[in-house]
Amino acid sequence: MGSNASIMLQQEDLQNICQQTGFTVKQVQRLYSRFKALDKRDCGYLTREDLQCIPEVNINPLGERLIDVIMDDYGEHNKINFKQFIFLLAKFRQGKFKSLITEYNTRESKLRFLFDMYDRNHDLKIDRSELLDVLKMMVGGNIHDDQIATIADHTIGELDKDGDRSITFEEFCKTLERIDADEKMSMKFLS
């Protein structure tokens, strides 16, 4: 599989990718084979349906939203090719040591991703409706909207420092000071 993958991937591309994202060659190749496995129609890009085929993504409460984010922010026209795929995943590399941090997997970019999961209209603010959407997805359909609304209001009340009833990126990051977002949002990429 490894040799196959490397043939498909141009050598210079590979080097480029490794340099920019900080992945090792092996990791890139492994991810490439994963990409090919997901790409059932073998057309060089992934579509929404391909991602939805993954069973765990389907049952995950935030699966839909994640696919939205991936497709809108990282792919174009409902397609994502391998380069975009790997740049997306590069965000989640561990940034434990200085040497491993590239411009992609800084703590800020990880938090930014999370912020984007909320903020679908890209106005750099999370307002009540967006928060409500995410809450509904996570909490499930049997909780009444009233209760969810109260939770959302409460959350906004906690985080909103400037009183505009919406959460900016800075306020969002403030919450995550205590939580070690960097570690939680990292993946160990097998090579």
Partner 1 sequence: MPNRPFFDNLGTILLLAIVNTLFNTICIGLTLWGFSHTSLYGGTHFGMLPCFVFAALISAVDPVAVLATFTEIHVNDMLYIVVFGESLLNDAVSVVLYRMFDSFAKIGQENLIASDIILGCLSFFVVSLGGVLIGIIFGVVACFTTKFTEHTPVLEPLIILVYAYLAYLTSEMVSVSGILAITFCGMVMKQYVSFNISKKSDATTEYVLKMLSSIMETIIFMFMGLSTVSDHHSWNTGFVLITLLSCLLFRVIGIAIFANLANCWRLLELTRIDMLIMSYGGLRGAIAFALALILDETKIPRKKEFVTATIAVVFFTVFVQGITIGPLVKCLNVRRKQIEEPTMSAKLTNRMMDHVMTCLEEISGSGGSNSLRDKCRNLDRNYFKRWLLRETPQEKMDIKLLQTFKKINMQSAMKVHDTSKGLVPAPSSSAIHTSVSGSNLRPESTFANFSQLLAANLPEQTVPDLMFFESQGAEQYRDDAQMHHFLDTNLYRARPRAAIHLRSQDETAGSGEANNRFEKSYHHRNHIYIPSRMDKEQTHGRKSGKTGSSGMTRSGASKTALATQAHDNTHSPRHSASSVPKQQHTKGKSVSPIPHKKKQEEQSQEQLGKTRSKSPTLSTDQPLKPPLPANEVHQPSPPISIRIDDEETDVAMGGATAAERICPWRRSSVPDASRSTSASPVNDPSNSVQASSSNVTDPHIHPGPLTSAGFSGSYNKSSEYMGEYATTTKPEEHLQRPHIRDLFANQSRIPDEKQENDTDTVSDDSTTHL
- Interface residues with partner 1 (CB under 8 A) are 30-31, 34, 37-38, 51, 54, 56-57, 59-63, 66, 70, 89, 92, 94, 96, 113-114, 117, 132, 134-135, 138-151, 153-155, 157-159, 175-176, 178-179, 181, 183-190
C-beta separation of 167 from 152 below 8 A = no
Amino acid at 180: D
Least distance CB 96 / partner 1 (angstroms): 7
Nearer to partner 1, 77 or 188 (CB): 188
Q: Is 46 helix (H, G, I), strand (E, B) or coil?
A: strand
The CB density around residue 68, as the number of other CB atoms within 10 Å, is 15
Identify which of residues 12 and 56 has a Cβ nearer to partner 1 in the complex: 56
**Does an H or E element contain 17, and which?**
helix 11-21
* Choice between 12 and 25, CB closer to partner 1: 25
Please report how close the Cβ of residue 55 comes to partner 1 at its closest, in angstroms: 8
Nearer CB in complex with partner 1: 12/35:
35
> Least CB distance from residue 141 to partner 1, whole Å?
7
Min. distance of Cβ 103 from partner 1 in angstroms?
19
Cα–Cα nearest to 161, from 145, 175, 148, 146: 175
Amino acid identity, position 122: H
Smallest separation, CB 95 to partner 1 (Å): 12
Q: How would you class 152 by CB atoms within 10 Å of its CB: exposed for 0-12, middle for 13-18, buried for 19 or more?
A: buried
